[in-house]
Amino acid sequence: MNITRIRNDGLTGDSCATKTLTKHPPKCRFKDENFMTVREFHPPIVVLLGRPGSGKGTQCNLLADRFRAAGRTCVVVQTGTILRDLASASLAISPFVTNVIASGTLMPPSIIASLWVASILRAAASTEPVILDGSPRTIAEVPLLEEVALVIDRVTDVRIIHLAISESAALERMMQRGRKDDASEAIRNRLALFNLHLPPILIRLQQGGRTPIVIDGERAPELVAADIWSSLS
Protein backbone atom coordinates (compact mmCIF):
# COMPACT_ATOMS: atom_id res chain seq x y z
CA MET A 1 0.00 0.00 0.00
CA ASN A 2 1.38 3.36 -0.94
CA ILE A 3 1.52 6.06 1.71
CA THR A 4 2.56 9.54 0.70
CA ARG A 5 5.23 11.71 2.25
CA ILE A 6 4.40 15.30 3.12
CA ARG A 7 6.27 17.85 1.05
CA ASN A 8 8.98 19.68 2.96
CA ASP A 9 9.71 22.37 0.37
CA GLY A 10 6.88 24.69 1.38
CA LEU A 11 5.28 24.57 -2.06
CA THR A 12 1.58 24.05 -2.61
CA GLY A 13 -0.12 22.15 -5.36
CA ASP A 14 -2.89 19.73 -6.12
CA SER A 15 -1.06 16.91 -4.40
CA CYS A 16 0.71 16.76 -1.07
CA ALA A 17 3.08 14.07 -2.17
CA THR A 18 6.56 14.19 -3.58
CA LYS A 19 7.60 10.61 -2.81
CA THR A 20 5.88 7.31 -2.23
CA LEU A 21 6.60 5.24 0.85
CA THR A 22 5.76 1.65 1.56
CA LYS A 23 6.67 1.34 5.23
CA HIS A 24 6.88 4.64 7.06
CA PRO A 25 4.25 7.36 7.55
CA PRO A 26 5.10 10.97 6.63
CA LYS A 27 6.85 13.07 9.25
CA CYS A 28 5.97 16.66 10.07
CA ARG A 29 8.04 18.19 12.88
CA PHE A 30 8.30 21.81 13.90
CA LYS A 31 6.91 23.87 16.81
CA ASP A 32 4.05 26.33 17.13
CA GLU A 33 3.54 27.98 20.52
CA ASN A 34 -0.10 28.73 19.68
CA PHE A 35 -1.03 25.09 19.21
CA MET A 36 -2.76 22.95 21.84
CA THR A 37 -0.61 21.31 24.48
CA VAL A 38 0.28 17.64 24.24
CA ARG A 39 -2.04 16.74 27.10
CA GLU A 40 -5.02 18.51 25.47
CA PHE A 41 -4.38 17.32 21.94
CA HIS A 42 -6.73 14.75 20.43
CA PRO A 43 -5.52 13.75 16.96
CA PRO A 44 -8.36 14.27 14.50
CA ILE A 45 -9.39 12.61 11.29
CA VAL A 46 -9.83 15.57 8.95
CA VAL A 47 -11.94 14.75 5.90
CA LEU A 48 -11.70 17.19 2.99
CA LEU A 49 -14.71 17.09 0.68
CA GLY A 50 -15.39 19.29 -2.32
CA ARG A 51 -15.89 19.42 -6.05
CA PRO A 52 -13.04 18.38 -8.30
CA GLY A 53 -10.94 21.52 -8.61
CA SER A 54 -12.03 22.89 -5.23
CA GLY A 55 -8.46 22.89 -3.96
CA LYS A 56 -8.56 19.83 -1.72
CA GLY A 57 -5.00 18.88 -2.64
CA THR A 58 -3.70 22.37 -1.97
CA GLN A 59 -5.50 22.56 1.37
CA CYS A 60 -4.27 19.10 2.26
CA ASN A 61 -0.73 20.34 1.79
CA LEU A 62 -1.28 23.55 3.75
CA LEU A 63 -2.96 21.71 6.62
CA ALA A 64 -0.07 19.24 6.77
CA ASP A 65 2.28 22.23 6.97
CA ARG A 66 0.26 23.56 9.91
CA PHE A 67 0.52 20.28 11.76
CA ARG A 68 4.23 20.21 10.99
CA ALA A 69 4.62 23.69 12.46
CA ALA A 70 2.80 22.47 15.55
CA GLY A 71 5.30 19.64 15.97
CA ARG A 72 2.91 16.88 14.94
CA THR A 73 3.55 13.92 12.70
CA CYS A 74 0.60 13.32 10.41
CA VAL A 75 -0.70 10.84 7.89
CA VAL A 76 -2.09 12.03 4.54
CA VAL A 77 -4.27 9.73 2.47
CA GLN A 78 -5.30 10.99 -0.97
CA THR A 79 -7.52 8.70 -2.99
CA GLY A 80 -6.66 10.52 -6.22
CA THR A 81 -2.95 9.95 -5.67
CA ILE A 82 -3.53 6.29 -4.81
CA LEU A 83 -5.45 5.80 -8.06
CA ARG A 84 -2.87 7.58 -10.20
CA ASP A 85 -0.15 5.41 -8.64
CA LEU A 86 -2.15 2.28 -9.44
CA ALA A 87 -2.76 3.44 -13.00
CA SER A 88 0.95 3.96 -13.61
CA ALA A 89 1.92 0.59 -12.10
CA SER A 90 2.11 -2.72 -13.95
CA LEU A 91 -0.66 -4.45 -12.02
CA ALA A 92 -3.70 -6.42 -13.09
CA ILE A 93 -5.91 -3.57 -11.92
CA SER A 94 -3.91 -0.83 -13.67
CA PRO A 95 -5.78 -0.83 -17.03
CA PHE A 96 -9.12 -0.63 -15.24
CA VAL A 97 -7.97 2.28 -13.07
CA THR A 98 -6.53 4.05 -16.11
CA ASN A 99 -9.90 3.83 -17.83
CA VAL A 100 -11.72 5.10 -14.74
CA ILE A 101 -9.45 8.14 -14.54
CA ALA A 102 -9.61 8.89 -18.27
CA SER A 103 -13.40 8.67 -18.37
CA GLY A 104 -14.02 10.64 -15.17
CA THR A 105 -16.05 7.84 -13.61
CA LEU A 106 -15.77 6.35 -10.11
CA MET A 107 -14.06 3.24 -8.85
CA PRO A 108 -16.39 0.64 -7.30
CA PRO A 109 -16.99 1.87 -3.72
CA SER A 110 -15.78 -1.35 -2.10
CA ILE A 111 -12.49 -1.21 -4.01
CA ILE A 112 -11.63 2.44 -3.41
CA ALA A 113 -12.73 2.23 0.22
CA SER A 114 -10.50 -0.77 0.82
CA LEU A 115 -7.55 1.30 -0.39
CA TRP A 116 -8.03 4.37 1.80
CA VAL A 117 -9.13 2.35 4.83
CA ALA A 118 -6.02 0.19 4.65
CA SER A 119 -3.85 3.26 4.16
CA ILE A 120 -5.13 4.79 7.39
CA LEU A 121 -5.03 1.63 9.48
CA ARG A 122 -1.51 0.67 8.41
CA ALA A 123 0.02 4.12 8.80
CA ALA A 124 -1.63 6.08 11.60
CA ALA A 125 0.03 6.02 15.01
CA SER A 126 -2.10 6.76 18.06
CA THR A 127 -0.99 10.40 18.29
CA GLU A 128 -1.03 11.26 14.58
CA PRO A 129 -3.70 13.36 12.88
CA VAL A 130 -5.07 11.84 9.68
CA ILE A 131 -5.95 13.96 6.63
CA LEU A 132 -8.27 12.17 4.21
CA ASP A 133 -8.50 13.94 0.86
CA GLY A 134 -11.36 13.11 -1.49
CA SER A 135 -13.23 10.34 0.31
CA PRO A 136 -15.89 9.29 1.01
CA ARG A 137 -16.99 9.75 -2.61
CA THR A 138 -20.17 7.69 -2.29
CA ILE A 139 -22.68 7.08 0.48
CA ALA A 140 -21.53 3.46 0.69
CA GLU A 141 -18.16 4.66 2.04
CA VAL A 142 -19.59 6.70 4.93
CA PRO A 143 -20.12 3.73 7.31
CA LEU A 144 -16.53 2.67 6.67
CA LEU A 145 -15.32 6.09 7.81
CA GLU A 146 -17.25 5.58 11.03
CA GLU A 147 -15.76 2.12 11.50
CA VAL A 148 -12.24 3.45 10.98
CA ALA A 149 -12.88 6.20 13.53
CA LEU A 150 -14.12 3.57 15.98
CA VAL A 151 -11.23 1.13 15.69
CA ILE A 152 -8.55 3.83 16.01
CA ASP A 153 -10.43 5.58 18.85
CA ARG A 154 -11.29 8.80 16.98
CA VAL A 155 -15.11 8.67 17.08
CA THR A 156 -15.37 12.11 18.67
CA ASP A 157 -12.50 13.57 16.67
CA VAL A 158 -13.72 13.40 13.06
CA ARG A 159 -13.89 16.77 11.32
CA ILE A 160 -15.66 17.07 7.96
CA ILE A 161 -14.54 20.06 5.90
CA HIS A 162 -16.61 20.89 2.80
CA LEU A 163 -14.79 23.25 0.45
CA ALA A 164 -17.66 25.00 -1.30
CA ILE A 165 -16.97 26.18 -4.83
CA SER A 166 -19.27 26.82 -7.79
CA GLU A 167 -19.29 24.41 -10.71
CA SER A 168 -18.16 27.16 -13.07
CA ALA A 169 -15.19 28.02 -10.86
CA ALA A 170 -14.28 24.34 -10.53
CA LEU A 171 -14.46 23.88 -14.30
CA GLU A 172 -12.23 26.90 -14.90
CA ARG A 173 -9.64 25.72 -12.38
CA MET A 174 -9.43 22.23 -13.80
CA MET A 175 -9.09 23.47 -17.35
CA GLN A 176 -6.20 25.68 -16.24
CA ARG A 177 -4.21 23.17 -14.21
CA GLY A 178 -3.57 20.90 -17.20
CA ARG A 179 -3.46 17.56 -15.39
CA LYS A 180 -3.62 14.45 -17.59
CA ASP A 181 -6.96 13.36 -16.14
CA ASP A 182 -8.48 16.79 -16.77
CA ALA A 183 -9.74 16.20 -20.30
CA SER A 184 -12.94 18.14 -20.98
CA GLU A 185 -15.34 15.17 -21.05
CA ALA A 186 -13.76 13.57 -17.99
CA ILE A 187 -14.05 16.86 -16.09
CA ARG A 188 -17.75 17.15 -16.83
CA ASN A 189 -18.34 13.54 -15.84
CA ARG A 190 -16.54 14.02 -12.54
CA LEU A 191 -18.51 17.18 -11.77
CA ALA A 192 -21.79 15.45 -12.62
CA LEU A 193 -20.93 12.52 -10.34
CA PHE A 194 -20.03 14.90 -7.53
CA ASN A 195 -23.41 16.64 -7.87
CA LEU A 196 -25.11 13.24 -7.76
CA HIS A 197 -23.28 11.76 -4.80
CA LEU A 198 -22.54 14.65 -2.43
CA PRO A 199 -26.09 15.41 -1.17
CA PRO A 200 -26.74 11.88 0.16
CA ILE A 201 -23.23 11.80 1.66
CA LEU A 202 -23.90 15.03 3.56
CA ILE A 203 -27.31 13.79 4.71
CA ARG A 204 -25.83 10.52 5.97
CA LEU A 205 -23.05 12.36 7.81
CA GLN A 206 -25.53 14.72 9.46
CA GLN A 207 -27.76 11.82 10.47
CA GLY A 208 -24.72 10.40 12.24
CA GLY A 209 -24.16 13.67 14.10
CA ARG A 210 -21.37 14.93 11.86
CA THR A 211 -22.28 18.34 10.52
CA PRO A 212 -19.81 19.35 7.81
CA ILE A 213 -17.99 22.65 8.24
CA VAL A 214 -18.64 24.59 5.03
CA ILE A 215 -15.80 26.85 3.95
CA ASP A 216 -15.76 29.16 0.93
CA GLY A 217 -13.15 27.55 -1.32
CA GLU A 218 -13.14 30.25 -3.99
CA ARG A 219 -10.89 32.60 -2.01
CA ALA A 220 -7.11 32.73 -1.85
CA PRO A 221 -5.67 29.40 -0.62
CA GLU A 222 -4.09 31.03 2.45
CA LEU A 223 -7.47 32.41 3.58
CA VAL A 224 -9.16 29.06 3.09
CA ALA A 225 -6.35 27.34 5.02
CA ALA A 226 -6.70 29.79 7.90
CA ASP A 227 -10.41 29.03 8.19
CA ILE A 228 -9.78 25.28 8.13
CA TRP A 229 -7.20 25.56 10.90
CA SER A 230 -9.48 27.79 12.94
CA SER A 231 -12.31 25.26 12.63
CA LEU A 232 -10.04 22.54 14.03
CA SER A 233 -8.93 24.64 16.96
- Amino acid 176: pLDDT: 82
Calculate what percentage of the chain has a pLDDT beyond 90.
65
Helical pair 184-207 and 142-151, crossing angle rounded to 10 deg: 60
Q: Among 138-142, 180-184, 197-201, 222-226, which stretch is predicted with the lowest mean pLDDT?
A: 180-184
Beta-sheet pairing, 3-6 with 158-164: unpaired
pTM above 0.75, yes or no: yes
Closest-CA residue to 54 (of 196, 166, 178) = 166
- Amino acid 7: pLDDT: 34
Q: Find how far residue 89's CA is from the centre of its chain.
A: 22
pLDDT band at residue 175 under the 50/70/90 scheme: confident
pLDDT tens string 27-45: 333 334 344 444 456 789 9
Domains of the chain, each with CATH number or no CATH: 3-9+26-232 (3.40.50.300)
Residue 192 scores a pLDDT above 90: yes
